[in-house]
Amino acid sequence: MRGLPPSTDPDLLVGLDTADDAAVYRLRDDLAVVVTTDFFTPIVDDPFDWGRIAATNAMSDVYAMGGTPLLALNLVAWPREGLPFDLLARVIDGGAQAATAAGAVIAGGHSIDDAEPKYGMAVVGTVDPARVFRNVGARPGDALVLTKPIGLGVISTAIKRDAAPTGLLDEAVRLMTTLNAGARDAAVEHAEHVHAVTDVTGFSLLGHLREMVTASGVAAVVDAAAVPVIDGVRALVETGMVAGGTHRNHAYVSEAVDWGPLAAPEQLLLADAQTSGGLLIAVGPEHADTLVAALDARATPAAAVVGHVTDGKPGSITIT
């Protein structure tokens, strides 16, 4: 993407500059559109659940910007000679259910013949230009609040290796199909105290945090013991259920992370590649408890202060 010419359009409020979650374009003083896309190969066996997860994940970037999903297009790659189309219908039905739950309309899409199935969405949302959340703006002293537990990448890897206990699979599907709408609503309610937001997906908790603090020109401290982890995930990590993407994340963030005495399995958890994870919110420290209470009131899967923002080398992270 570095070869693309920089935009000079003043109405492009969010573009490539800070590796943010979605693009935001202002249409008028009180209205902007949020545009994003995401798709991936199957991460669960059930095609309907895969569709729900992929759609929920694609819409998450709109919520991370403070927006509301409005319109979606299906993106499909399908081996027409290898898999029956009734399976694809179930995938699309799952995506439609997630979009309906978000109040979005599916208006079409595009498909290609491909040896490996892939599904996702291009999503358009709306947001008030004056209330756009960005991954830039975190301030020293801010509390870092996470809204879903981590470990989804570990479970997805265990699923692919037929090593995921049924109960853990069910919990992962529940989390990955939980919209970040409630977390968005809580953040919007306290928008005057929220300084930066991102969602936690494939780059992991630390990967997305590194992007946030780099763009904001600050550093961060993460309390590893405070980070919510899905029950049962640590045991899977100990047996080697770690995705290749997680190892790449670990290598990437380790350039900027002081791990301290944290053991290797716990390091990998903080670098775990999530699918449809929660929001990471930088909020003024005196308002962190109020935000957590607002998240709890909206039944978000987790509402935990996992660290804080500090002065220091931009992009650096210390683990305690």
Domain boundaries of the chain, sorted by first residue: 12-130, 134-319
Range in 3-17, 37-51, 146-160 with the lowest mean pLDDT = 3-17
Q: Given this model, what pLDDT does residue 117 score? A: 97
Sort strands 118-127 and 105-113 into parallel, antiparallel or unpaired. Answer: unpaired
Name the residue with higher pLDDT: 208 or 4. 208
> Cα(40)–Cα(256) distance, rounded to whole angstroms?
28
pLDDT at 6: 82
Whether the CB-CB separation of 44 and 155 falls below 8 Å is answered with no
DSSP string, 216-231: HT-EEEE-GGGS-B-T
pLDDT surpasses 80 at 2: no
Of the candidates 264, 260, 302, the one whose C-alpha atom is nearest the C-alpha of residue 152 is 302
Token pair for residue 320?
Answer: 């305690």
Check if 12-130 and 134-319 are the same fold. no
CA torsion, points 258, 231, 182, 210, in degrees to nearest 10? 10
- Three-state DSSP class for residue 202: coil
- For residue 53, the model assigns a pLDDT of 98
Which residues are bridge partners to 194 per DSSP? 283
Rounded to 10 degrees, the C-alpha dihedral 289/295/300/304 comes to -20
Nearest partner of 219 among 295, 310, 108, judged by Cα: 310
CATH number of 12-130: 3.30.1330.10
Placement of tokens 């830039």 in the chain: 136
pTM for the complete prediction? 0.96
For the sheet with 12-14, list strands across it. 12-14, 23-28, 31-40, 118-127, 68-78, 105-113
The yes-or-no verdict on residue 177 having pLDDT over 80 is yes
Mean pLDDT estimate for the chain: 96
CA distance 108 to 99: 13
DSSP β-bridge partners for residue 125: 34, 69
Indicate if the pLDDT at residue 1 is higher than 80: no
Distance (Å, rounded) from C-alpha 227 to C-alpha 320? 11
Mean pLDDT of 262-285: 97
pLDDT at 45 over 80: yes
| pLDDT for res 214 | 97
What is the predicted pLDDT for the residue at 4?
85
Average pLDDT estimate for 165-187? 96
* Average of per-residue pLDDT across 68-84: 97
Cα-based angle 60, 201, 83 (whole degrees, multiple of 5): 85
Calculate mean pLDDT across residues 47-64. 98
Q: What is the mean pLDDT of residues 3-8?
A: 85
The token duo for 180 is: 């970040």
**In the predicted structure, residue 287 carries a pLDDT above the cut 80:** yes
pLDDT (tens digit per residue) in 233-254: 999 999 999 999 999 999 999 9
Q: DSSP alpha helices (H): ranges in the chain?
A: 47-64, 85-102, 152-160, 166-176, 181-189, 204-216, 233-238, 244-254, 264-270, 288-297
pLDDT given at position 107:
97
pLDDT digits (tens, 9 = 90+) for 266-275: 999 999 999 9
Superfamily covering domain 134-319? PurM-like C-terminal domain (3.90.650.10)
